Structure 1
């Protein structure tokens, strides 16, 4: 079966003057429609570079990204990114931050009233309609991330790219937002690629976990299937043997790579 999203023999080399650094080497990855895939690995293994290549923010040196049978090598609304830093415009309200993307993508296909309705629909998905008239400085970090997710979803992307979206949040807010993303994925069936450093987060949210070797010239060391039924409840999974086995296998992979770094 043809993959929905494919990374095909991707290499990435950064060059500054006469010095070149190979960050990624021969990355091959196939995703099906509706998959939730996490990318995990130690700092410097090229996770963010891989995400940026999928987003079209960085071009591969060799190879490329194919989405629904078409090569993509520049940014587009079919691939929306949510960064760890929410990247909201501070002078705009919550509503205006989401509406900005809606107007950009749907100016020719939706009327003004339809764009307003669609903006409110996506704010409702992340339970932020009550704060639609507030500015980013007036809401919490978790709420800002909800707005960032709403803005991304409002563009109706084929692929949602999450770059450590919960990394700057406290533990309780992080857990609530993870549950929200799980519920959205269950409801909307998005194809999601997420970068994380958190093993428990990766196992909780993902269908598959892509484990990266250490850089330079990082590549995919192993891809782990997470055969846990959805919807998932974090408290029930705490003692689930499948969850615990997946968690153990990721930790073993990262620990072995970490020892290699220390020995080098």
Structure 2
């Protein structure tokens, strides 16, 4: 969901503080693709008028979360404080890390764990490969769900009505010439993911990048996260990824689930 499409105060109760929502929308408008933005960029991304966007940016600068350089603004490392309490109290990444480390070591590829937050995936654990990657990924990195293997797995795990709501509001963008082009085609891929229990996405987020993922489920069987391996297309064919990597990912998620349930 784009920042400007998030619910406004009119959709909330009388407790809702619009200024807080607007300040958060300003912070969310920055991303890996837009680490530095002008006032006009922020106003356009958030749907706010320039005067409001300027006041919010200057307030965030006074609080130390934003810095101004010439005519542009950037987030500061202090924003990490906002997510630290959540991540530090989240046991799943700690449980998953040893298994992701083994997976990454066995395959010599990047292994990761992500959760679904709104319409985006958020990386909560990551073991990077020593090989050079063109996509910059860190803990907290967010991508739209639909063109990623972990996103497909997480979308496949949604209750049917939540999935239908997601598809109804989705606005597809072509990240590459292989990105899924229609909601119907995406629905078919999500159905396929649900049936086979894993996803393989071929260069839909970035050209030359393949991703394979499988769901991590809680004791009740609900999908709570996804684990994946990313590989450059030049090193492995889709058939090789399916034959050699997918079984390793499935074993990894089973071990994560066993540790979560205290069965290992």
After TM superposition, the score normalised by the length of structure 1 is 0.30
| Larger RCO of the pair (alpha carbons < 8 Å, separation 6+) | 1
After TM superposition, the score normalised by the length of structure 2 is 0.30
